[in-house]
Amino acid sequence: MEFKKGYFITFEGADGCGKTTQIELLDKFLKEKGLKTLLTLEPGATDLGKNLRQILLHYEKPVSDEAEMFMYLADRAQHAQMIIKPALEDKKIVLCDRYTDSTVAYQGYGREGDIEQINILNKIATKGLKSDLTILFDVESEIAQSRLGKTKDRLESQGMEFHKKVRKGYLELAKQDPKRIKVVDANRTIDEVWQDVKKIVEELLGL
Ligand SMILES: Nc1ncnc2c1ncn2[C@@H]1O[C@H](COP(=O)(O)OP(=O)(O)OP(=O)(O)O)[C@@H](O)[C@H]1O
Ligand SMILES: [Mg+2]
């Protein structure tokens, strides 16, 4: 089966909310139906992005908030233009682990950056390419942290207060754009969460 157009679905939520787990289940489900998918992620899907990801997650010296944000945006610009857009033109279902909402939630709400400015920068980086659907996995910050175990990267080892601000920010975004952003209660088991994801995507694609 082929669709008349591509679909762009993004997965959002705190570290440890279950994005990667669920995106892989969805990719498998859609492929079994014979649909063309592209499973991708931010940061680090392109060669340039892999270099940026290495710095973003593992650089040991202080990184200014602005430098951090521009690295995410550079990664996104390269990703949107070199990978996502061509896949959508090829009528694929693009499943993307993190996209523009992550920058608003983390750099905007989490680090208290200027959200209006971030929206403009996201628009420049993506040339206005928005997701058709965003699934937000909402989870208690303590539960998300406990799922991650002991090996945390530079961003995951921020304090609990930061994670709570990010969570609130995501929920605020969902409130502002309820048509695009669907909130799934990710405090439950992998299978319970998956049933919701499946239903939301089946509805979008008319399956
Ligand atoms: N609903 C769930 N209940 C319990 N454990 C879960 C659930 N979903 C995922 N996990 C487990 O929690 C851990 C983190 O999940 P996952 O990697 O999918 O999260 P993530 O959102 O991709 O995190 P990150 O942002 O750090 O990449 C994994 O070990 C995964 O198996
Ligand atoms: Mg992940």
CATH code of 13's domain: 3.40.50.300
Regarding the beta carbon of 135 and ligand 1, being less than 6 Å apart is answered: no
Q: What percentage of residues in the chain have a pLDDT greater than 70?
A: 96
Structure confidence at residue 76 as a pLDDT band (50, 70, 90): very high
What pLDDT is recorded for position 3?
84
Total count of domains within the chain: 1
Tens-place pLDDT, residues 19-45: 999 999 999 999 999 999 999 999 999
What pLDDT is recorded for position 159?
84
Q: Residue 87 phi/psi, 5° resolution?
A: -65, -40
Tens-place pLDDT, residues 142-183: 999 889 876 666 666 678 899 999 999 999 999 999 999 999
Range of the domain at 88: 7-205
Regarding the beta carbon of 98 and ligand 1, being less than 6 Å apart is answered: no
- Domain presence at residue 2: no
| Global confidence as pTM | 0.95
Indicate whether 125 pLDDT > 80: yes
- Domain presence at residue 154: yes
Mean pLDDT across 36-60: 96
- Domain presence at residue 1: no
What pLDDT is recorded for position 4?
86
- Domain presence at residue 94: yes
The CA distances from residue 59 to 51, 52, 140, in Å, are: 11, 10, 28
Give the number of the ligand closest to the Cα of residue 137. Answer: 1
What pLDDT is recorded for position 149?
79
- Domain presence at residue 151: yes
Q: Residue 13 CA: which ligand 1 atom is closest?
A: 21
Kindly report the protein residue whose alpha carbon is nearest to atom 16 of ligand 1.
18
Tens-place pLDDT, residues 182-196: 999 999 999 999 999
Mean pLDDT of the chain: 95
Kindly report the protein residue whose alpha carbon is nearest to atom 8 of ligand 1.
18
The best mutation among 15, 21, 142 to test binding of ligand 1, ranked by most ligand atoms within 8 Å of the C-beta, falls on 21
**Contacts with 42 (C-beta within 8 Å, 6 or more apart), sequence order:** 49, 72, 75, 76, 79, 96, 97, 98, 99, 102
Q: What percentage of residues in the chain have a pLDDT greater than 90?
A: 89
Q: How many angstroms does the Cα of residue 17 sit away from the middle of ligand 2?
A: 8
Indicate whether 59 pLDDT > 70: yes
Cis? peptide before 86, omega within 30° of 0: no
- Domain presence at residue 134: yes
- Residue listed under structure tokens 């080892």: 157
Regarding the beta carbon of 154 and ligand 1, being less than 6 Å apart is answered: no
Q: How many angstroms does the Cα of residue 111 sit away from the middle of ligand 2?
A: 21
Structure confidence at residue 82 as a pLDDT band (50, 70, 90): very high
Regarding the beta carbon of 20 and ligand 1, being less than 6 Å apart is answered: yes
Indicate whether 141 pLDDT > 70: yes
- Domain presence at residue 60: yes
Structure confidence at residue 52 as a pLDDT band (50, 70, 90): very high
- Domain presence at residue 133: yes
Q: Report the 10 Å Cβ neighbour count for 104.
A: 21
